[in-house]
């Protein structure tokens, strides 16, 4: 199931109720989330190979679980970085990508992993994805600025561009 299908299936009132159960501290920002949801309803998906994965992850520092939203696109660790990864269990696992800086139209075209659909309700999936995709702001312009700043800082620190999420290459 594509993320766009979930967005189109529900109205804001249903999403808002579920979202505030997941993230009650975000009530102060609920108008921002509402605007993003409305924009998602109007956007046309842009094709991508990236899939949405949602998992409960234990934080050793805080000693509690949190929900982690990330992407995978079929590229294996050993393909993205052959110097570091060999043909072993870790090397044959897919690369996990942070997708919070991804264009919202691409989010809409992402398939939601079957395991995530089985583990979380559809409204919870929308809520977790809304939180993740607005981590850097409530407009795509804010997110593009953050992304450009991060690329600039990475280039300055390493002398090269970060890996592309679509190709796994510099």
Domain ranges across the chain: 3-158
pLDDT of 22 reads 98
In the chain, which ranges are continuous DSSP H helix? 3-9, 12-22, 30-42, 77-80, 104-109, 114-119, 122-133, 140-158
**pTM for the model:** 0.86
* Per-residue model confidence as pLDDT tens for the chain (170 residues): 999 999 999 999 999 999 999 999 999 999 999 999 999 999 999 999 999 999 999 999 999 999 999 999 998 878 888 888 888 888 888 989 999 999 999 999 999 999 999 999 999 999 999 999 999 999 999 999 998 998 888 888 887 766 554 444 44
pLDDT of 163 reads 57
pLDDT of 156 reads 85
């Amino acid at each position: 199931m594509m993320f766009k299908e979930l967005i189109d299936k529900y109205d804001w009132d249903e999403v808002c109720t579920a979202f505030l159960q997941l993230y009650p501290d975000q009530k102060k920002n609920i108008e921002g989330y509402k605007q993003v949801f409305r924009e998602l309803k109007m956007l046309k998906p842009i094709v991508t190979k990236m899939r949405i994965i949602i998992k409960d992850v234990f934080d050793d520092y805080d000693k509690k679980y949190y929900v982690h939203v990330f992407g995978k696109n079929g590229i294996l660790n050993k393909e993205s970085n052959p110097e570091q990864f060999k043909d072993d269990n870790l090397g044959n696992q897919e690369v996990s990508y942070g997708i919070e800086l991804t264009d919202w139209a691409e989010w809409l075209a992402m398939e939601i992993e079957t395991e995530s659909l089985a583990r979380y309700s559809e409204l919870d999936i929308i809520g977790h994805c809304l939180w993740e995709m607005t981590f850097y702001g409530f407009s795509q312009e804010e997110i593009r600025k953050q992304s450009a700043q991060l690329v600039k800082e990475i280039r300055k620190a390493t002398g090269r561009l970060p890996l592309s999420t679509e190709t796994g290459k510099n």
